[in-house]
Amino acid sequence: MKPVFLLSTLVSLAATALLVAQQQPPVTPPQSQQPTDVYTKITSTGGMPPKIAIAAIIPLSTDSESVAAANTIADVLYNDIAYEREFYMIGKDAIATIPKPTSVDQIPLDRWRELNANGVIVGSVRKTGNGVSVQVKLYDVATGKMAFGKEYTGSIANPRQYAHTISDEIYQSQIALRGVARTKLTFSSDRDTGRMKGPLGPRDVQEIYIADYDGANPRRITNTTTLNITPVWAPDGQAIVYTSYRPSGSSGFSTYQDLVVSWLYKGLRDEPTHGSPSNQNYLPAWSPDGSKIAFTSNRDGNPEIYVMNRDGSNLRRMTNNPSIDVTPTWSPNGNQIAWVSDRTGSPKIHHERGRDRAAAADQRLLRPADVVHGALQRDRLRGAHRAGLRHQGLRLRDRRIQEDHRRHRQQRESGVLAQRPSYRVHVHPQRQVGDLHRRSRRQ
């Protein structure tokens, strides 16, 4: 099976409401006005990455907005190109030794040859009647030919978006690489929130945020007084599915977990699993084509893996085992699902063969090498999960205490074994999970 990449998560609590006011469509992406073909490819000698410099992004007017936009584009473009590590970026201190150009067509290539640069980028920012025009060119220093050249028009409100677009298109044109500069992160945070009452005292509220790939421009997309966690992007980038704890109505502290799909740029929110205290749903994962969502649910009395269409239809149960099955993850081709289960005594990664096999499908353990990543993630996140599980009244037992209890049981006479509740808590490599059922077993 191909390596499975597990998504990181936390455990949390309470109701959710989408902050529609903060879910406005993003600034219109810069429009390319002059698509051009690649005239040449920037190369270097000796097998080293090509050396690239950003000569300047020139503001063609002196107003503060244009100057600030030009500086922002230059700084962000430098960082975007450097992030991929496919080009060697000439340091800004060396760039400062060469006079800045006054035009995108007048570049002192001889001076750039002295720095052993293979390519040099120059651009300009010009105010227009309804926005701004950003022009950029990449020159081959050895030949003086233009390797890349485009002009973009749009709003000046988000100059970082121009830099991200330029970086991705340079990478695409030069080395056929899809850059990450225009991708976005989603995460759960308590940075802008207060605290709420809980069964064991006040606790932090967490909301869902999105940000640029480098952490800039964070925006909160939920506005609740509870915990919203485990956000996952849809493959097309139009929606986020996450776990939210909802009030059950029976008491101020009673909550249940349910899935919420937020369509960010439509201002819509769906609850496809229709949860309840006896039907809790959590730890979602989009299929690679975005048509399905895998998740964990206890609707049949035990945490199992389910798959549904993204609108909640065609619900199918994929596992059937008295142990806990949690945190589904899709294979890259969407034909397999892996999950974590303690059915063998400790958390291990299992997977199911075939897209539509149900509970009786051939389910087997991955090779030990495939489990290493998940085990490391589980150990790293155990502390974070502990705080989240505390609100449910559960406490993770220290391994040393468990060993002491085991030794004590072994010392008892064989006829005195007692029946008592077993509290089994399973921490998944990427997200939270707890067995909230007090199932009795023979100790």
pLDDT digit string (tens) for 102-132? 999 989 999 999 999 999 999 999 999 889 9
Give 119's Cβ-side CA count (13 Å radius).
Answer: 24
Q: What is the DSSP letter of 387?
A: H
Q: Determine whether 163 is exposed, middle or buried from the number of CB atoms within 10 Å of its CB (0-12, 13-18, 19+).
A: buried
> pLDDT grade, residue 253 (50/70/90)?
low
* CATH code given to domain 184-390: 2.120.10.30
Domain boundaries, the chain: 31-175, 184-390
pLDDT digit string (tens) for 174-201? 999 999 999 999 999 988 766 655 555 5
CA max distance for the chain: 93
User: What are residue 341's phi and psi, to 5 degrees?
Assistant: -145, 150
β-pairing verdict for 31-32 and 146-154: antiparallel
Q: pTM value?
A: 0.70
Class assignment of domain 31-175?
alpha beta
pLDDT digit string (tens) for 71-100? 999 999 999 999 999 999 999 999 999 999
Give the integer Cα–Cα distance in Å for 104 and 121. Answer: 9
Does residue 271 contact residue 295 with C-beta atoms inside 8 Å? Answer: no
pLDDT-wise least confident of 291-305, 306-320, 396-410: 396-410
> pLDDT grade, residue 29 (50/70/90)?
low
pLDDT of residue 130: 87
